[in-house]
Structure 1
Amino acid sequence: MYLDDSYELSPEFFLLVKGVWEQFGEEIGHKDFNLEMTWIHQGVIFDVSWKKEGIAFRLKRWGRYLFNVKTAFIDLADSHQELLHQYNRLETSRQLLQKQTLRLETAYDIATSIRQSSQMEETLRTMTQALVDDAECSSARIRLMKDAEGNDLVMEASSGIDEPSASPITRPIVSDEKQVGEITIRPKIGGHRSEVEELLDYLLPIIGIAIHDSLVLRAVTDYKDNLETKIDERTAELRTTQVELSNTVRLLRNMQQVQNRFFTNISHEFRTPLTLILGPVKEIADRMDDEKTREELRIVLKNGKHLLRLVNQLLDLSRFDSGNMKLQASPHNIVPLFKGFVLSFATYAESKRITLECNSLEDEMIAYVDREKMEKVFSNILSNAFKFTPEGGRLEVTMMRKEQHFTVSFRDSGIGIPREKLPRIFDRFYQVEGNDTAAHEGTGIGLDLTKKLIELHKGTIAVESEEGKGTTFTIGIPLGNGHLRPEEVHEEVSGGRQMQQATIELTSTERVVKPDLNMVTEGQKPIVLLIEDNADLRNYIKRNVEGYYTILEAVDGEDGWKKSLEHMPDIIVSDVMMPKMDGFELCKRLKTDERTSHIPVIMLTAKSASKDKIKGFESGADQYLMKPFEAGELRARMQSLIEQRRRIREHFRRKGIFELDESNITPLDKKFLQKVGSLISQNISSTSFSVELLAEMAGVSRSVLHRKIVSLTGEAPVDLIKRIRLNRAAAMIENKTGNISEIALDLGFANPAYFSECFKKQFGIPPSQYSRKSTSR
């Protein structure tokens, strides 16, 4: 047909085109070739579709009746060429996708071969079979020559059937940059060798990794099997050893029990005769007039006591070894407690002309300690220090708080300990050897026991020393009781603890103050100050009363006055004839000073004239004892004064400080109590009124106020203030002065709940019930 550039209205042309396309479809032979022609307004739509290898093709074209015939044929030819081009591109992509899929499937089979079996041979067989199944190989063989550690290994696996006509392809297998084997494959007949080589090169790194992992797994499995075998063998050996060890432990325990029984029995066997020796010898020495004989008896007593101390130490060590040494810790204000331990060596230090100092950076520190055991600790450390410190030397004891511990350091100016000997200083039975120590040989058990006693308190002990310059022992005791087991805590509250409890019962607006450094209250031994210039007489009195009192010593009247102000003792025993200040002047000063007027005084004198007795009583002495005197009489008089003081305290507990009809207190003390009572009454409604403010208003220090109030009334100042307020509260409730909250506020209690708690503690019932009880009456 001739086509020109003109336009014609020719629907027949579309029929002709349809026929041409149908013929074209038959010629190319595509499956499911279909041509549909749909007539529309002023035109037609051709819809051509076919399939090839599962891929569907479709082409739509639209024509109008009015068109250029030549242009239409050209457009039709261009569309056909575009269709063929797209088909060829899709075909190429399909082939590449198929090749990549084959690679990935083979790589996956090889990579997962190690998971299919823990046996190396089975893993290799899985790899070769994957190559035969997926990689167009007629056969595949893998041969290993080295294991994971580089040791020689012979292992081979193969799959498929060799095609002799096909040339083999061989590649090395590399693991950790070392050749461990090789792989050989043969392509299938008719296969493309280049494609097989390309696939093998692609898979080779994956094969290397899989074989490396398999070799490692094999090594781990072998190690595990060997380890299990060794463990079984070792377990059998351990069972045998355990049986032998159990038998040994049983024998050692039996031996330990025998040893402990021996030490316990021998200690008690020594203790009984020693008691029978020391008691009579002491009495004989007290009665003996011959000074030489008395001195010899003193030597017997001294060594007998030393032997008793050694027996006690052996018994303590035996208890430690058997596990029977138990801690019985109770709360103590350890500052005055430890200071008392140190001062008990004052006489001994004086006799050896050694300066003994005891300093504390704290006034009060509450710790849970076993008093008896801590006394042994101090005794052992101080005894050692005195033993190795020459005359004219110095021993300084310093106490301070260090974080959550209370530390005590004992620094002496003795001969020191060689540096190389320090690590063994706490070993049992160990003694430092040397010319300087030969004269001071001991048993070597004191420091071992000391260390165990400190560790029983969960504390620490350390030593520093420089030969020729001295030694420092430092112990640390934890504060509080959080470090102790419940069975180790015994809430037998000491005086220091009572004072602390009384202090913390203050309301939130009151200031909490510390008690005096050397405060001694109920629950502790009374403090006795012995003022005597004769050392032997001081020791004699001390020996006869030290079981009942804590002893302080002064060498003359002036020393006694200073120590009275420093320690505020519960009772003073003083000689009359002394240098610097005699007993009469001292007693007069004590009784006329508001700080010390409450302290009972016993005067010792050899003057028997009536005027001397009168002078003594005029100076304010409470008791007057003639020399020579019996130790028993002195103890009785001291106890009488202590009991008298107890009755005075009981009187004030029952009737308060406003009824001063007690004749056994001095006018100065009555005046003092009246002033204190008046100040409390004047400030009874102030919530900011505190013990420290009371002391300031009374014109005395807080420690003096505390000591005097406790000595006279048996109560700490804070408790006295609270008692007066609560007594006033009870009266106001009875008189219906106001409701309970108003009364509490009027009497200085900022917290009504705290007021009710204190009221119930004092009167046994809460204020609400007290009010109803008063109404019913």
Structure 2
Amino acid sequence: VNPPLWLTWWAKLIYILVSISIIYLILHAYKKKLDLESLYTLEKKNHEQEQELNQERLRFYTNITHELRTPLTLILGPLEDMQKETSLPAKQAQKLSVIHQSALRLLNLINQILEFRKTETQNKKLCVSKGNIAPLIYEIGLKYKELNQKTRIDFQIQIEKEEMLLFFDKEIITIVLDNLISNAIKYTEQGRVTLSLYQTMRNEVAYTEIKVSDTGYGISAEALPHIFDRYYQESGKHQASGTGIGLALVKNLVTLHEGEIRAESMQNEGSTFYISLLTDNIYPNALHADSTEPIQEDTNQEASLEYPQETTLDTGKPILLIVEDNEEIQKYIAESFANSFEVLTAYNGEEGKQQALSRIPDIVVSDIMMPVMDGITLCRQLKEDVRTSHIPFILLTAKDSLQDKEEGYEVGADSYLTKPFSASLLRSRINNLLESRKKLIAQFQTQSVLGNQADLKEKRIVIAEALSKLDNEFIEKITLLIEENLSSEKIDITYLSDKMCMSGSTLYRKMKALTGLSTNEYIRKVKMQNAERLLLEGKFNISEIAYKVGMNSTGYFRQCFKEEFGVSPSDYLKQIIQS
């Protein structure tokens, strides 16, 4: 009997061949999948390695630039001090000016690298405020017009309207235009460089546009699409030296500003760059100037105050503590302030803390990046210690981002100074802080002057707001200890220092710094304030009040009362009755 068709030998052969084909296709597909996965993993790993290499490169640049800020401080600071000397010969002054300009150029390059690093790592934050952008553009253009040393270049500023209101970040606009204008001048030997500001409409959307154009060498058609790529530099006979990050930084900053940038160029005819900002953009996701204004005001104090004749907390000069691991900078600051302060020095935060606790300085200037203990930790620990919480604290750093500054202010720093800095700027910051402390002391010392009680209450509120929480608690505790032992003759600095768990000298310096009074003078002040209260109650005579505030001698009590209020107790009562 012949087998059915599907069981014939050739049918079975077909079955075997189909099965083999299916198995082959499955294995082939599986192998292809494995190859694709392997290729994807390899590509991903290569991409990660490339990103890591790029990050390492940027981190290296950042670290180098941070390190360069320290010697720049030691170059620019003394240079600015020397330039202020009127006795220098004209020839020497000219040489110093050349050195100063070169150092500033180096600083600008360093700042450019740091800004580029921040934009690449998304650490640069947009901070806008609404205002008239026209004066800023004119001011930037005027700077380059006045400093232009190429006599064959005609620098022009064209502003469409005197008032153009929109939200913008002043710092970003300045950095972008500094790069574009300096490039335009660099690559133009003769002709014209034009900075323009105008408003335009595209697709029914309002734009405020900034244009920088020149009649220089221009950019080739092949290079034009790549000019905003990082590290890209066009090869050509007119190519100047540079880092290849200037236009990449400009692109990143304009993008951060939610704007657009485009370039047009023809070789040997010139180039034009257009920056377009949305006129009606309110930037809901950006920082606004109102939220950062206190920090900006504090970190940009004017260097115009004269050095205050600060009353010393002992019989000598005010004490300045410098905490800096770089010996040259430490020495530079110490020598700059040696005539005005008793200068203490420390090489790290731990040494600085010990010096601060043992000497209770009037002000502390500290670097941030130090071994053993950094400046942020030092500031936090001193501000959290009742013995040192009142001391004004200035942080020095090579970092200048908003986040870094916020970290410093969060731990209680009173001011922030970015390297490189000059001794005159640092002196101005110190003066401002000491002057503020001096005004607070003056407010404190006028509390007991005979006058309107509402005014006195207002002064106490002002003082409480100016002091930190820890310092307010300190004053309240001291006052409470005195009032609880008001009639005791034994209450003195020894008693209070024992109760406050600090040495007599530490308590003395703390009281002097906060109130301008010695501990014993403050004890007497509190006693006289309570004597005034008892006098106004009218229940006791002068002898009884003197006894209640711990003074057995009525004559001594009258003398102390008169020194505090300017009149004797009886005359004080008469003035109150008459008023």
Per the normalisation by structure 2, the TM-score is 0.44
Of Structure 1 and Structure 2, the greater strand share is in 1
Question: TM-score of the superposition, structure 1-length normalised?
Answer: 0.33
Larger-gyration structure (1/2):
1
Higher relative contact order (CA 8 A, sep 6+): 2
